[in-house]
């Protein structure tokens, strides 16, 4: 519990400071369930020295994408200087050439991802495995947050990936029940 509070306090402190970005930003893709999935990763330069670092995964809202989630959250500027890896995955869209208008499958919502039964929980699980294996992520300090449709998936991640995700912080999105 103290560790979770420490990470949250670091994020709050970092939000009040004007620290230049110390990030190494990359746009990446991975294949999952036959789909090419994309995400942005912003790593502190200290990740190169082999230190295990906490991760915050930010899920955009419906109609957005990873770039939108990055811009809206400001986590790169706030968390990365404090030694936190920020990751911004993108949902899916029926408009393959469009970079935006992406949604997440949160079971009871939303749009294309739900209609096509896209395995977004599986995608995030594989993404986490890659971060732990290749990007100095501390497997005990993986955190997820999201807004709106991203918050709905964040709730699903908390329920279904509780062995991989230490804590969730959904914003403006509840959890549906059957």
**pLDDT, tens digit (0-9, with 9 covering 90-100), for 30-79:** 999 999 999 999 999 876 677 899 999 999 999 999 999 999 999 999 99
**pLDDT, tens digit (0-9, with 9 covering 90-100), for 101-116:** 899 999 888 889 999 9
Q: Assign residue 3 a region: left if phi > 0, alpha if psi is -120 to 50, beta otherwise?
A: alpha
pTM of the model as a whole: 0.84
DSSP element (H, E) containing 167:
strand 167-171
Q: How many residues does the chain have?
A: 178
* Distance of alpha carbon 150 from alpha carbon 55, whole angstroms: 17
């Amino acid at each position: 519990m103290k560790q979770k509070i420490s990470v949250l306090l670091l994020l709050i402190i970092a939000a009040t400071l004007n620290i230049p970005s110390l990030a190494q930003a990359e746009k990446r893709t991975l294949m999952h369930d036959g789909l090419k999935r994309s995400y942005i990763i912003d790593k502190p330069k200290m990740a190169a020295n082999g230190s295990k670092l906490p991760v915050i995964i930010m899920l955009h809202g419906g109609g957005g994408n990873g770039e939108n989630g990055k811009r809206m959250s400001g986590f790169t500027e706030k968390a990365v200087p404090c030694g936190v890896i920020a990751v911004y995955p993108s949902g899916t869209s029926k408009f393959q050439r469009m970079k935006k208008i992406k949604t997440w499958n949160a079971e009871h919502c939303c749009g294309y991802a739900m209609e096509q039964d896209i395995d977004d929980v599986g995608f995030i699980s594989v993404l986490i495995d890659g971060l732990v294996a290749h990007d100095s992520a501390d497997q005990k300090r993986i955190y997820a947050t999201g807004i709106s449709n991203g918050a709905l998936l964040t709730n699903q991640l908390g329920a279904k990936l509780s062995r991989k995700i230490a804590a969730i912080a959904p914003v403006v999105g509840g959890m549906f029940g059957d």
